[in-house]
Amino acid sequence: MDWMRANLARPLTVDELAEKACMSPRNFARAFAAETGTTPAKAVERLRLEAARTEVEAGRAPIDRVAELVGFGDPERMRRAFLRAFGQPPQALRRAARA
């Protein structure tokens, strides 16, 4: 998880994560789910959401740059993830943090 958090801007695939853990992708996915209770993809998205939320609320970078920095790739993908996780888009969280 620490390595994932430190490398969020990279495309974190199960294959790459498994390689870092010196495991086969299938065994890694199984072991990861057993240990964390979630899939590697969901864990990566959660880490990205946490990092993005911190950046968005701090208001230091434009939303599109935040999406790039944390590995969402584009602002629309990040916006959809924010809606699923927080019930509002990044811009609304930024406005609330400034208030």
Say how far apart CA 86 and CA 58 lie, in whole Å.
Answer: 17
pLDDT digits (tens, 9 = 90+) for 52-85: 999 999 988 999 999 999 999 899 999 999 999 9
Q: Are 28 and 66 in contact (CB under 8 A)?
A: no
Calculate mean pLDDT across residues 37-53: 96
And the tokens for 24? Answer: 């086969």
pLDDT tier at 35, thresholds 50, 70, 90 = very high
Q: What are phi and psi of 83, to 5 degrees?
A: -60, -45
CATH architecture designation of domain 2-98: Orthogonal Bundle (1.10)
